[in-house]
């Protein structure tokens, strides 16, 4: 059997059928959960750009592909799976990663990370520290 173009409705009355494109459906889903992960061939995928605010702390900004349903929470694996560029070709592992207390909205969030070897005021990139299983997952559940 091949079954397509069906729609389930909650309640006692059927609503008119609504066909959505893949892009529309993806955008609606991304309002609730968005995961950023490295490609399988690039162990040093850049997650976000930021600025060192001290020798051991960096603030990075992540912009979502679509506006989230509400301000999201952040889920990550171990902080050591992430790193920051500290000099050309050099990456230092992070010891903590968390959403910043400031700079949260449904369109962007700031991420605070702790590492070593930074110079306050310098630009830095938050990277997968040679690990293809690193990810940032933003969730805005109902």
Q: How far are the Cα atoms of 67, 91, 105, 117, 123 from residue 83, in angstroms, in the given order?
A: 27, 6, 24, 11, 14
68-77, 86-95, 98-107: least confidently modelled range: 86-95
Residue 23, pLDDT > 60, answer: yes
- The pairing of strands 90-93 and 123-128 is unpaired
In whole angstroms, give the CA distance from residue 3 to residue 94.
Answer: 49
What's the CA angle centered on 66, arms 61 and 69, to 5 degrees?
95
Distance of CA 3 to the CA centre of its chain: 35
Give the tokens for residue 29.
């889903």
For 39-87, how does the pLDDT look when each residue is reduced to its tens digit (9 = 90+)? 666 656 788 889 999 999 999 999 988 888 899 999 998 998 898 887 6
């Amino acid at each position: 059997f091949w079954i397509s173009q069906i729609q389930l409705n909650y309640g006692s009355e059927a609503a008119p059928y609504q066909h959505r494109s893949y892009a529309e459906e993806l955008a609606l889903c991304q309002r609730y959960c968005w995961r950023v992960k490295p490609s399988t061939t690039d162990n040093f995928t850049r997650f976000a750009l930021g600025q060192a605010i001290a020798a051991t702390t960096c603030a990075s900004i992540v912009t979502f592909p679509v506006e989230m349903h509400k301000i999201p929470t952040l889920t990550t694996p171990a902080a050591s799976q992430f790193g920051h560029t500290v000099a050309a070709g050099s990456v230092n592992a992070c010891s903590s990663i968390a959403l910043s207390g400031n700079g949260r909205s449904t369109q962007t969030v700031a991420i605070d990370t702790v590492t070593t070897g930074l110079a306050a005021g310098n630009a830095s990139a938050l990277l997968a520290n040679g690990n293809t299983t690193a990810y940032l997952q933003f969730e805005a559940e109902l």
